[in-house]
């Protein structure tokens, strides 16, 4: 994402396929399926407190995108299924697709109709903002990858 004044942050698309980083290939680094730490909110809110018009618009765009992915799931999964044969590291088995189906609340413990899935997704976004462990991980990540001077 890019702000109007040129600040940039990225979306890690590996997460949508269940590709979570682990310390020593054992201990999971991520604890939430959505990463929305304070620096991201700072950019979204244009350096203001939460619940700004920009923040509300961001949430609405997230929910609209989620709904559109669900509505077009047949086409989406048809294309992703074909990509499996390209043997990409993050998309090389049906289990990758099943993770995405669960993330869209299409299968799993609680498959549900779109209205309830959107509410559950909104709760995930809200809970991601309060994940202390993820915030500390983000600080460590920023420190390890700080620009060299």
Expressed as residue numbers, the domain containing 119 is 13-133
Is 142 inside a domain boundary? no
The CATH number linked to 57 is 1.10.1070.11
Query: What mean pLDDT value characterizes the chain?
Result: 81
Structure tokens at 95: 């289990």
Please check whether residue 138 lies inside any domain of the structure: no
Tell me if 92 is assigned to some domain. Answer: yes
Could you tell me if residue 146 is inside a domain?
Answer: no
Task: Please check the confidence at residue 9 and state whether its pLDDT lies above 60.
Answer: no
Write down the pLDDT at residue 135: 81
What's the pLDDT band for 5 if we cut at 50, 70, 90? confident
Tell me, yes or no, whether 100 lies in a domain. yes
Q: Encoding tokens for residue 16?
A: 């949508």
Cβ(98)–Cβ(107) below 8 Å:
yes
Q: What whole-number distance in Å separates Cα of residue 50 and Cα of residue 68?
A: 26
Q: When comparing pLDDT for 27 and 138, which is higher?
A: 138
pTM score above 0.85? no
- Is residue 140, in this structure, part of any structural domain at all? no
- pLDDT tens for residues 54-106? 999 999 999 999 999 999 999 999 998 998 888 877 788 888 888 889 889 99
What's phi and psi for 80, nearest 5 deg? -65, -35
How many domains does one find in the chain?
Answer: 1
Between CA 119 and CA 128 the distance in angstroms is 14
């Amino acid at each position: 994402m890019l702000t109007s004044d040129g600040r940039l942050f990225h979306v890690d698309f590996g997460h949508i396929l269940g590709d979570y980083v682990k310390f020593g290939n054992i201990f999971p680094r991520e604890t939430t399926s959505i990463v929305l730490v304070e620096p991201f909110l700072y950019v979204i809110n244009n350096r203001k407190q939460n619940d700004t018009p920009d923040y509300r618009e961001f949430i609405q765009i997230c929910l609209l995108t989620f709904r559109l992915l669900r509505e077009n799931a047949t086409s989406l999964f048809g294309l992703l299924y074909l990509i499996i044969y390209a043997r990409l590291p993050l998309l090389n088995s049906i289990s990758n697709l099943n993770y995405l189906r669960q993330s869209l609340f299409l299968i799993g413990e609680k498959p549900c109709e779109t209205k309830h899935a959107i509410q559950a997704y909104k709760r995930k976004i809200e809970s991601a903002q309060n994940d202390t462990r993820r915030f500390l991980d983000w600080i460590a990540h920023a420190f390890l990858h700080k620009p060299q001077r």
